[in-house]
Structure formats: C-alpha cells, structure tokens
Chain A
Amino acid sequence: MGKRIGLEVSLSAAEAVKMANVDCIAAYPITPQTHIVEHLSELVNNGELDAEFIPVESEHSAMSVSAGVSAVGARAFTCTSSQGLSLMNEIVHIVASMRLPIVMILANRSMSGPISIWNDHTDVMSIRDCGWIQVFANNGQEVFDNVLFAYRVAESQKVMLPLIINIDGFILTHVIEPVEFWEKEQVKQYLPDFKPVYTMHPDRPVTMGGVGMPYVFSEAKVAQDEPLIQSKAEIITAWKELGDVVGRYYKPVETYRMEDAETLFVTQGSFGETVSLVVDALRNEGESVGLVMDRLWRPFPFDEFREATSQAKNLIVIDRAISYGGQGGPLAIDIRSALYKGENQPNITNFICGLAGRDVTINDFKNIYHRAMEKIKENPMEEDFEYYGVRGK
C-alpha cells in the first residue's frame, strides 16, 4: 500500500503529475490553479521530475505548446481556471479534433463578470462541447488517482482524446486532505508508455490539423465524436483496473444510500461529499433519500444514469452553473433529456447554487430538500429550476 500523507490537494495533484512522468508542463498561473503549477515548477527545478517546464506568456500558448508536445509523441500536462480557459478556448477545440491526448486539470472558477476568483462550474460548462473527456472529482484522493487514470485513458489507442479533470477551486484545491500516494511499481503496472499513432517527425512527414473542406468536415466530426462516445468502455475498464491496483474503485456514476430511496440528490464535484452528510441527516429524520454523483461528464453516462435513477420518484439536481435563458443548469438539462423517454419518469427539480464560491451548507441542502418536496407536491411534473438563496427571489 502507498504512503498516506496530509497534503494540500493542489500539491498532491502535482505529485500525481510527477508520478505520471510527464514530458512537458506548459502553463500560465491563474488563481486558483496556481499552487499546482508552482509545485510542478519546483519539482522540475529540483530535479525530481525530468520534464520541460515552459512558463508560457498566455493560456493560448499553454495549450498550443501542449498540442505541439503531444503531436511529437510526448506526454503533455497543463492546468488552468476560468478566464485562462477562455483564452485557450480556440486550441482546446482543435486538440480534440487532432486527437491529442493532453491532460488538463481545470481548477473550477466562475467565469467573470462580475469579476470573481471563486469556485463554480461555469468555466467548464462554457467548453462542454469541446470534445474532451471530462471528469469531476469529489476529493483529493480522487484527483490524485484520476491524474494517472487520465493518461491511461487519454493515450489508449482506442481513445486518443484529451481529458479534463475538474476540481473545485479553493474548496478542493486549497484544502489539506489525507492522500494515499501510489508506489512506483503500481504506476508502472497501471500506466504504459505513450505510444502515439502518428507523430510529427521529419523522417515520416504527416500533416496534422489540416483544412477540412465541406466534403470531409462532417465525416471528420463523426470520426471525432464516435471515439468519445465509445471511450466510456475504456474509461470503465481503466477505473476498474485502477481499483485492482490500488484498491479504490470508481464508476461513471456513484451512488450513496440508495436503499428504497424515493428522492435522489444529483451532484457533480465536491458537493457530493457535503450532500452525503445531508443524506445521512435526512435519513435519521426518517426521509427516504439517497445521492447520485456524476463523475463522468463527457461522454455523458446515459445508461448508468438511467439505471441509478430507475427506482426514484423524485430527483433534486444541483447545478453549480447557469445556462442563461435555458431550462435550468447544464446538468439538469442533460438529465432531463436522458430520462425523457423512460417509463417511470421521476419528478425533476433543479437548484442552481454555490455560484462564485458561495457556501452551501448542510442546512442549505436540507432547505433545498424540503423546498423540492413542496414544489413537487404543488406541481409534480413542472420542468422548472430555481436559484437557491438569492435575495429578492
């Protein structure tokens, strides 16, 4: 078993990147991602990690450099948050179409404005449709494990797609948690060397990122989306094998206290841990409630989600992002569409909360639960959503 130590999640994330033995880190500092990149620069500087550390002049360059690194067959890592993600947006889409298995940690932070450095999921939702595999983490251990998982999946020749690990800014990045490190042997067993299909090499000239004329563009897009959809099988295998190596098993959709639960909370990211305590408390009060945590965001685990919610009467979907002018938060929208054709459709209520790091406490979630029950009683199948805790609402 690996060593279990207390460490800030950002630092343990950087240690996991070191264990993945990346070849290049290209990043630009932005709160709350900073500690991850700072620690990586220290690891490179003191010789613990044999990699190029490229302190680029912008996030656009960070992703461009990572594209070049990956295209020559090296292992690339980058890391950003909110506005930084916006600045690299152009290349984020391009590397997915080029099938370059870059791994990025996104320390989730609100999209300005108003200007905010605090946590929510509006940054990742702004690039939801960028073609990357996207996962969320509940805690520091998951972040650590998922870094090694990320390279294993992204670089699989069946997949060959970039991967984003979402971790809640401050709420996860800046807390100290016990994390069990992997043994070197375990990494060796789990994560093979990167074997790219094509590389930029003067002896074997190829063109990557070429023009796609209208007669081939749609085919190129299907050739990009199909492997993303199919990657779910590889993702499930990689999580299963991760469990076989280190004893922690992960699934696309995680459940908690589902026994006869009439009502299920649905969460993404670090809310899951808080809501699990809320579920315990409500169960003690005699409520029939459970929790579904969505870990895999793209490809969306439709089947797993339908299965997890098949017995439930009510869903309370918690979103930490807004789809302006849309029908609730992005998670609720996907869940409604996932369950649209089902037979026993549950009532679905949706609460948007925790924007820009506003605390959502156990009591708040209890209020949300009771408010949801009230709403469902009044108007069962209404497809609405509500901003929780907004003054004047």
Chain B
Amino acid sequence: MSKTRQDLTWQELEIGATIITPGNSDEYKSGDWRSIRPVVDKKKCIKCGTCYIFCPDAAIYETEDGFFEADMFYCKGCGICAQECPTQAIEMVEEEE
C-alpha cells in the first residue's frame, strides 16, 4: 500500500466511512499514546507469560529464547504488565523526547 490510512483524502473514504478490509485495526499505532515503557529485567523473569496474557493490546510476544517482549508499535504504556508480573521483573521507565 503506497498510501497509509492516515493520508486518505475525504474523497477516498468509503461511503459512510465503512471499513471494508476486516482487521485493519492492526495498522493503528497505539504506541503513539505511550509516555512510559515496560523494560524487562531478564534476571528476574521466570518466563511465566503472565504479562503476555494480561496485556490489553496484545502487544507482548514471546521471543525465541522464551522471554517476553512488548512491541513498541502497539504498547500504549498502561503498565498492566508491570503490575501483574509475579516477580516484579518489569519496570516502567519514562519515555524521553
């Protein structure tokens, strides 16, 4: 797609702003909302996947070595993963300019 959804003119919208490509919400960058970001301390992480289950944006994925990481395109910085992590392995750090 040469044009992203953010560049569409009013003439290019479907009638009634109907969405005809199912699942296109994955193009939406909720990462834009983030002011703090989760950082995992791998020494404390027990690879339980609780953060993965609780993330409301399904932003967390499992890496090849079995740890869990957040995709910064989607992570909105809510801090739920840090709150739920049983070993306090996740710290929320300020995003810098």
Contacts and interface: CB of A to CB of B under 8 A. Distances in A.
B16 A198 contact: yes
A215 B27 CA distance: 13
Q: How large is the interface on A (under 10, 10 to 19, 20 to 34, 35 or more residues)?
A: 20 to 34
Contact of A223 (B13, B19, B20, B22): B13
Interface in A216-252: 216, 218-220, 222-223, 226
Nearest to A207: B19
B14 A198 contact: yes
Contacts of A208: 16, 18-19
A222 B15 contact: no
Nearest to B4: A215
Interface of B: 5-6, 8-11, 13-20, 22, 28
Contact of A216 (B5, B16, B18, B22): B5
26 contacts: A97-B16, A100-B16, A197-B15, A197-B18, A198-B14, A206-B19, A207-B18, A207-B22, A208-B16, A208-B18, A208-B19, A209-B16, A210-B17, A215-B6, A216-B6, A216-B17, A219-B8, A219-B9, A219-B10, A219-B13, A220-B10, A220-B13, A222-B10, A223-B11, A223-B15, A223-B17
B20 to A, nearest CB: 5
B75 to A, nearest CB: 18
Given A198-B20, A207-B22, A222-B10, A160 B28 contact: no
Nearest to B24: A207
Contact of A97 (B17, B19, B20): B17
A216 B8 contact: yes
Interface of A: 97-100, 160, 197-198, 205-210, 212-213, 215-216, 218-220, 222-223, 226
Contacts of B14: 198
Contacts of A98: 16-18
B69 to A, nearest CB: 26
Contacts of A198: 14-16, 18, 20
Contacts of B19: 206-208, 210
A212 B17 contact: yes
Given A216-B8, A219-B10, A226-B10, A206 B17 contact: no
Contact of B28 (A97, A213, A219, A223): A213
Given A197-B18, A212-B17, A218-B10, 10 more contacts: A98-B17, A198-B16, A198-B18, A207-B18, A209-B16, A216-B5, A219-B8, A223-B10, A223-B17, A226-B10
